[in-house]
Chains A and B, each alone.
Chain A
Amino acid sequence: MGMTYLDNAATTFPKPKCVYKRLQWCLRNAAGNPGRSSHKAALAAAEEIYGAREALSELLGFCAPERIVFTQNATYALNMAIRSLRPRPIHAIYSDREHNSVIRPIEALCKEGCTHTVFKADGDILAAMEAAMRPETDLCILSLCSNVTGECFPLPILREFRRRYPAVRILLDGSQWLGHLPLSLDESLCDVLCAPGHKALFGIQGVGFAVFVKDGEYAPFVLGGSGSDSQSKDMPLLLPERLEAGTLATPAIATLGEGARFLLREGMTAVSERILHLSTKLYERIDAFSKLQPLSRHGIGTVSFAAEGIPSSAVTAFLDSRNICVRGGLHCAPLIHEAMHTLDGGAVRVSLSYLNTVWDLDRLYRALKEFKKIYY
């Protein structure tokens, strides 16, 4: 029996066929160093990268492809965004749904004088956000969709917060949202949006990005070669080159661009409907087992559950023995596990892709049935 892959919140697998084709094409035809020379191979690479910026812009309904900065992954993009903001944050608030790629950089910033407050992203979220605010608060970081529960942050609340506190910069982590749900990016939503390429956007590993929604002054996070203004000792002033030091991962970026084009062709309405349908079917299968407790009832694309009396690592090891890939543990998001009282044993995360089928969920169901017979 082949492998059933349900760990798409970590990395999607498989990718659409067009992504593999684009990768091959890029490795053979756009093999130069983008932005470093003007021979055909270098320009082909630069065109490939610009094409990816355009495809992402279209997917996000955003009209400035040059304000999309490519990075290695979402973690790098979030670190860069936090460190690039000018003036530097004085007091930050973030939700208890955040990933360590937010928690750790903010902790590091706190050693340099910044302070922060964590708010609960359930119940009356707007009231919780306002309670966390201080007069000096100038940064709010939010995950649009939890990588543990799959719960989505309500966009109307985000827009209302934005309206009430226009001076607070908003940094969004779109890691689990983009590619599953549509998003129209503009200033009413945030200042910066960060995401990886290798999850629901169907790129390969090695690429992420940050979209700087507004023009502004951003401090370089890493300095080095940019292929232009070489006599200057500073990075170029304009995005994206200001924040893109060193050679970009052209093949990975090409696959991200192709993934975005694939989603545009499929249509984000169709994609999100399919993800919602699969999520409902997944809940139905988990609900068949009274000893499995989902952490939330509202996950989209991601559903985590705790198995009564059994650590998540035992469940994932059993499922792996049946060729089913899911992820256990804390998912690099300790605060939500603290809130859900699953810090000790962790939770089993089942995460979907647009390319999964109900058949995959049936295989999971049969394996869980077997698990129940052995362990309960």
Chain B
Amino acid sequence: MNTAFLTVDSVTYAIKARKVLSAIGIHASVKKVNATATGRGCRYGIFIERRHLFSAMAELKQKNIAFEEWRGYGYDLP
């Protein structure tokens, strides 16, 4: 349960986010997340270790990547 995930609108932004985070040393995995989790239809989740959550959010904000934060829901890092 040490995993956090952020959602972004599309796979394009998910991969962009993954690369942005990787560039600052944060390992992130991309997974599609379904409507049950997001309530908005399919989106993409960026899964990271919870300890990196705040620095990841700050980096994505700085790179103008819009995201939403979600709690773990039992997901583990893939």
Contacts and interface: CB of A to CB of B under 8 A. Distances in A.
Given A38-B32, A228-B44, A232-B41, A66 B16 contact: yes
20 contacts: A35-B12, A38-B32, A46-B11, A47-B15, A50-B11, A50-B12, A50-B15, A53-B12, A66-B12, A227-B10, A228-B9, A228-B11, A228-B41, A230-B35, A230-B41, A230-B42, A231-B35, A232-B40, A236-B10, A237-B9
Interface in B16-48: 16, 19, 30-32, 35, 40-44
Given A228-B44, A230-B42, A236 B9 contact: yes
A34 B35 contact: no
Contact of B9 (A43, A49, A50, A229): A229
A194 B25 CA distance: 35
Interface residues of A, number: 24
B41 A231 contact: yes
A43 B31 CA distance: 8
Contacts of A232: 40-41
A65 B13 CA distance: 10
Given A37-B32, A38-B30, A38-B31, A228 B15 contact: no
Contacts of B12: 35, 46, 49-50, 53, 66, 240-241
Contacts of A12: none
A238 interface: yes
Given A37-B32, A38-B32, A227 B11 contact: yes
Nearest to B12: A66
A37 B30 CA distance: 10
A236 B30 CA distance: 19
B41 A43 contact: no
Interface residues of B, number: 19
A226 interface: yes
A35 B9 CA distance: 11
Interface in A43-57: 43, 46-47, 49-50, 53
Nearest to A242: B10
A66 B63 CA distance: 13
A241 B10 contact: yes
Contacts of B32: 37-38, 227
B9 A238 contact: yes
Contact of A226 (B10, B40, B66): B10
B14 to A, nearest CB: 8
Contacts of B44: 38, 228
A230 B16 CA distance: 21
Contacts of A43: 30
A228 B10 contact: yes
Given A38-B44, A241-B9, 4 more contacts: A228-B9, A229-B40, A232-B41, A236-B9
